[in-house]
Amino acid sequence: MKRLTRVSSAETPAFVLVLSCKPVIITLTESLLERLTATDGRILRDRLLCGFAVRANEQSRTFLIAASVKGGHVRMMLGYWPLMGVEQARSPQAFERASA
């Protein structure tokens, strides 16, 4: 199943083709999250920090850390945008607060 989603910024093309079997990997920025139109709960992964992602819903943008533990997938919520900025969510302190 193929869908077109508008996620334009200086680093990404105007439209990203989203295939249901492959994750979307882009550089997450404040301006990208402001203009993001995805509202179906899709997860956008960050190109700069492995495991860092954002889930885009209709009402919120949620920062996540995703990892594999003992063969299973684990996702841990870090916080909500705009209460937490992209750089703040990428910091090691955000992960420490979420795992405590």
Check which CATH number belongs to the domain holding 70 and give it: 3.30.160.390
In a domain, 64, yes or no: yes
Q: What is the pLDDT of residue 10?
A: 53
Q: What is the pLDDT of residue 59?
A: 86
Name the residue range of residue 71's domain: 24-99
In a domain, 51, yes or no: yes
In a domain, 5, yes or no: no
5-54 tens-digit pLDDT: 555 555 544 444 444 456 788 899 999 998 888 778 888 999 999 899 99
In a domain, 44, yes or no: yes
In a domain, 47, yes or no: yes
DSSP code for 59: S
Q: Are strands 40-46 and 24-26 parallel, antiparallel or unpaired?
A: parallel
Contact by Cβ (8 Å): 78, 47:
no
Using the CB atoms, write b or e for 77-97: b if 16+ within 10 Å: ebbebeebebeebbeeebbee
In a domain, 38, yes or no: yes
In a domain, 14, yes or no: no
In a domain, 67, yes or no: yes
Q: What is the pLDDT of residue 75?
A: 87
Residue 62 has pLDDT above 90, yes or no: yes
> Angle CA(8)–CA(95)–CA(28) in degrees, nearest 5?
5
| Number of structural domains in the chain | 1
